[in-house]
Amino acid sequence: MSFHLLLASSSPYRAELLKRLRIPFSQASPDIDETPLPDETPQEYVLRLAREKARALQPNHPESWIIGSDQTCVVNGQPVGKAGTEANALEQLKRVKGQKITFLTGLCLLSPTGDEYTLTEPFDVHFHDLSDEALKRYITIEQPLDCAGSFKVEGLGITLFSALEGRDMNVLIGLPMIGLCELMRQAGLEPLALAEA
């Protein structure tokens, strides 16, 4: 049986990260309910969604290794998702300015036999105490409406931060690459052996 890797996401940001491994892969978007469950912690939430995304695609891709990933920003112990609108983005950024905020990404590598390899990766971000005008300008230029916490670290979002803490900044983009390589090795897959020259 040939090896096939499937990213359970339509995110171009996650796809760009996964391309770094030089392992051929395809993408498919899972259709799941992302509503948090009552009393669910942010860690439980992102890990559950990562698992559900991978599992949702398995029936149509039974021979694939499937990567499910989900990200949230944690503010005052509560998960914060994508803003969707400029007004929501401004409110999200106003809530976090001058604070240290944790971002969490849940990751699941699902084997063709149904074995799951999972982790939750945290990353801390220290936000500058910027003016509302500066935040509005950032939102207008960057349009980070489809990103948890309303910023894109791979773009102008880096100007919002005074410091970053964690082992893998890719958490902020939604796919912890160090963790993914760890999960692949736990599953008996060596990323370097699968990489194309």
User: pTM for this one?
Assistant: 0.88
Q: Is 136 helix (H, G, I), strand (E, B) or coil?
A: helix
- CA distances for 60 relative to 50, 96, 112, 176, angstroms: 17, 40, 11, 25
CATH number, domain of 31, equals: 3.90.950.10
> Which pLDDT score, from 0 to 100, does residue 47 have?
97
Q: How many domains does the chain have?
A: 1
Q: Is the pLDDT of residue 174 over 70?
A: yes
The yes-or-no answer on residue 70 being catalytic is yes
The pLDDT tens digits for 89-138 are 999 999 999 999 998 999 999 999 999 999 999 999 999 999 999 999 99
Q: What is the rounded average pLDDT of the residues 181-185? A: 98
Q: Is the pLDDT of residue 1 over 60?
A: no
Residue pair 93/135 in contact by the 8 Å Cβ criterion: yes
161: domain range? 5-194
Catalytic residue among 31, 33, 39, 70: 70
The pLDDT tens digits for 52-96 are 999 999 999 999 999 999 988 888 877 787 889 999 999 999 999
DSSP state of 106: E
Q: Count CA within 13 A, CB hemisphere, residue 195.
A: 11
Q: Which residues pair with 120 in a beta bridge?
A: 106
